[in-house]
């Protein structure tokens, strides 16, 4: 009798053990079809002094908390990030949508080099085009850049591509100015030294570099408006009209300008399950992202959907947005 009881006890324990193991396996497979700890996610951002880096870091933080191995890569921003995505050197990258559109369709800086492997995961925050100068420069309009020393951004960077399109829209070219291919941080440093008259800065607002300039120098933001702005938006509809609100810097009034959205970029070769899992984790922990910067707090939210994205969504992202009830753009 004792022997039978002992056998029954052993069988019961074995059954319970098998049940627990089965539940754990079921739980794991219901979460992902892969082991997150085996996945290394590199996020391409921007210079450490800019907005891309801290916001990109917050995305890495959310993914790391869910079990992924992550790395945040400081870069020259959009152009370098697009290159990293195409080369498989990063899994996620922040990039301005105008730069992405040029690379995807093969025009502008990417003339004849269209690449259909670029895919979007989600919309991020708007980057405002800010033309910065000192009040004694004599520059009151885009047309006043003629004959002036202008920092247009690092060559083929998102900032520089913006500057090039704005010159074109105002029926000007770089030959009308003395342009320097400097990052906006370098250009503003040279402005302080009297070596640059104006600088293009494309970023979220407020921009820390401009804020620092405004505390010690009598600076201003030159409006981007009128027929030139209309021509810009008509030819490049990824730009939208906007205003830089009063008191963003030392400006007492709103300043007319344009903005272009940043997007989170991925390569079409990433698995659908991986992209779906990452975007799900990000929105389940969106408070971490929002706390990284004011631009993220105001502009990165599930409620904004994907209507502003101009390139195709990755299928994993498309599945996520459809499940949330958002229409998918026909790109």
**What values do phi and psi take at 291, rounded to 5?**
-75, -5
179 and 297, same structural domain?
Answer: no
At residue 299 the predicted structure's pLDDT band, cuts being 50, 70 and 90, is: very high
Question: How much helix, strand and coil, in percent to the nearest 5, is found in the chain?
Answer: 45, 20, 35
Count how many domains the chain has: 2
94 and 67, same structural domain?
Answer: yes
Over range 189-200, report the average pLDDT.
Answer: 96
Give tens-digit pLDDT for 53-75.
Answer: 999 999 999 999 999 999 999 99
At residue 17 the predicted structure's pLDDT band, cuts being 50, 70 and 90, is: very low
Q: Does the residue 178 lie in any domain?
A: yes
Q: Distance of alpha carbon 221 from its chain centroid, rounded?
A: 23
* Residue numbers of the domain that contains 204: 128-260
292 and 176, same structural domain?
Answer: no
pLDDT tops 90 at residue 30: no
Q: Does the residue 29 lie in any domain?
A: no
315 and 247, same structural domain?
Answer: no
More confident residue, 255 or 32: 255
Three-class SS of 20-70: HHHHHHHHHHHHCCCCHHHCEEEEECCCCCCCHHHHHHHHHHHHHHCCCEE
Q: Does the residue 5 lie in any domain?
A: no
Task: List residues bridging with 222 in a β-sheet.
Answer: 131
Q: How far apart are CA 43 and CA 45, in angstroms?
A: 6
Q: Does the residue 145 lie in any domain?
A: yes
235 and 204, same structural domain?
Answer: yes
First CA to last CA distance, the chain: 74
- On whether the CB atoms of residues 260 and 98 are closer than 8 A, the answer is yes
Q: Does the residue 28 lie in any domain?
A: no
Q: How far is CA 173 from CA 95, 142, 179, 227, in A?
A: 25, 11, 10, 16
187 and 66, same structural domain?
Answer: no
The per-residue pLDDT for 33 is 78
Taking the whole predicted model, whether its pTM rises above 0.75 is answered as yes
CATH number at residue 230: 3.40.190.10
221 and 164, same structural domain?
Answer: yes
The per-residue pLDDT for 18 is 41
Q: Does the residue 23 lie in any domain?
A: no
Give tens-digit pLDDT for 281-290.
Answer: 999 999 999 9
107 and 49, same structural domain?
Answer: yes
Q: Does the residue 17 lie in any domain?
A: no
Q: Does the residue 13 lie in any domain?
A: no
CA dihedral for 280, 87, 309, 299, sign (positive or negative): positive
């Amino acid at each position: 009798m004792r022997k039978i009881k002992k056998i029954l006890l052993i069988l019961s324990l074995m059954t319970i053990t098998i049940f627990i193991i089965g539940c754990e396996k079921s739980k794991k497979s219901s979460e992902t079809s892969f082991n997150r700890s085996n996945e290394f996610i590199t996020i391409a951002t921007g210079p450490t002094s800019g907005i891309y880096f801290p916001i990109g870091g917050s995305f890495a933080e959310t993914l790391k908390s869910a079990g992924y191995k992550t790395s945040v890569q400081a870069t020259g921003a959009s152009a370098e990030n697009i290159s990293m995505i195409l080369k498989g050197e990063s899994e996620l990258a922040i990039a301005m949508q105008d730069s992405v559109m040029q690379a995807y369709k093969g025009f502008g800086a990417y003339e004849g080099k269209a690449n259909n492997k670029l895919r979007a995961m989600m919309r991020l925050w708007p980057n405002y085009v800010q033309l910065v100068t000192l009040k004694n420069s004599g520059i009151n309009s885009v047309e006043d850049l003629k004959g002036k020393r202008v920092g247009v951004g690092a060559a083929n960077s998102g900032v520089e591509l913006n500057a090039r399109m704005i010159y074109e829209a105002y029926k000007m070219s770089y030959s009308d100015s003395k342009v320097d291919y400097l990052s906006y941080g370098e250009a503003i440093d040279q402005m302080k030294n009297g070596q640059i008259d104006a600088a293009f800065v494309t970023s979220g607002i407020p921009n820390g570099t401009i804020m620092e300039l405004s505390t010690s120098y009598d600076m201003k933001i030159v409006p981007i408006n009128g027929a030139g702005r209309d021509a810009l938006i008509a030819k490049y509809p990824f730009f939208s009209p906007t205003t830089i609100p009063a008191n963003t810097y030392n400006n007492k009034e709103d300043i007319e300008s344009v903005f272009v959205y940043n997007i989170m970029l991925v390569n079409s070769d990433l698995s659908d399950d991986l992209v779906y899992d990452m975007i799900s984790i990000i929105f389940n922990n969106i408070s971490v992202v929002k706390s990284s910067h004011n631009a993220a707090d105001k502009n990165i939210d599930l409620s904004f959907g994907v209507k502003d994205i101009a390139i195709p969504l990755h299928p994993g992202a498309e599945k996520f947005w459809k499940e949330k009830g958002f229409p998918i753009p026909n790109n």
